[in-house]
Chain A
Amino acid sequence: MKSDIPDNDRIKVRLFAILREMVGEREITITVPTGITVKRLNNEILKKYPQLKSFSNKFVTSVNCKVTAGDAIITSKDEIALLPPVSGG
């Protein structure tokens, strides 16, 4: 029998550079409904870590090492990372 309670995924998200410093963690875990999009995940992250709100248009999200559009659907098996503007070299 199907439960009325929606399934949830625990998504691990890696943080780098200024975002890592703002949160104080290299990796965070966000519990979200299964089948969530990148955009909704980012909204959930900003709700949980409001200190990142001023950076909301200053990072991109990578899924399995590829920068990914907001409408892409993610699962707990994906490797997610938030990437601020890069400055290597």
Chain B
Amino acid sequence: MPLLLPRMKSLFYHRSAGVESLISITNKHISLQDVMFELEDNSAGALSIFIGNVRNQGRSGNVSEIYYEAYSEMAEQKMREIENEAQTKWGIKKLVAFHRIGNIKVGETSIIIGVSSEHRHEAFEACKYIINNVKTRVPIWKKEISEESQKWANGILLE
């Protein structure tokens, strides 16, 4: 039987205004299991999770993979801003947000947002708010890659 080492919660939690958060822009694989583990909290009755996967169709046709690029320092700051807004609006307990960058193949996960709160309404709403705002306010870019072409996705100009 393999020796199972006890898992340690991340040391990189950020605590402000009553919310604990773990935000990471990483070139490593991201997993739901890790997000669930980090969200564990006996005072939270609700967890809401959004998972974004790379799909095989894009604006330019078939896609085999997507290349993601980030301005990581600014992206993390913007994600913290969004987190604070979600905390003010819904009083969430924990937020874990992982965005993978680099080349990601069809079927693999590019982003996971996990939110915990006392009750479901807050968790649902905050999770939706966070992913919608990550897509429009955080400096991350994607290039759709197929066998025939490579094309940067049309996006939204930051304000």
Contact = CB atoms under 8 A, between A and B. Distances in A.
A74 B153 CA distance: 30
A83 B131 CA distance: 20
Interface in A9-62: 14, 16-18, 20, 58-60, 62
Contacts of B131: 89
B152 interface: yes
B139 A16 contact: yes
A72 interface: no
B81 to A, nearest CB: 10
Contacts of B140: 86-89
B76 to A, nearest CB: 9
A83 to B, nearest CB: 5
Contacts of A17: 69, 141, 143, 152
Interface string B58-100: 0000000000111101110100000000000000000000010
- Choose among A16, A17, A18, A88 the residue with the greatest number of B CB atoms under 10 Å from its CB: A88
Contacts of B71: 14, 16, 62, 65, 81, 83
Contact of B73 (A65, A85, A88, A89): A65
A86 B141 contact: yes
A89 B135 contact: yes
A67 B158 contact: yes
Given A86-B135, A87-B154, 7 more contacts: A16-B71, A17-B141, A83-B139, A87-B153, A88-B111, A88-B135, A88-B138
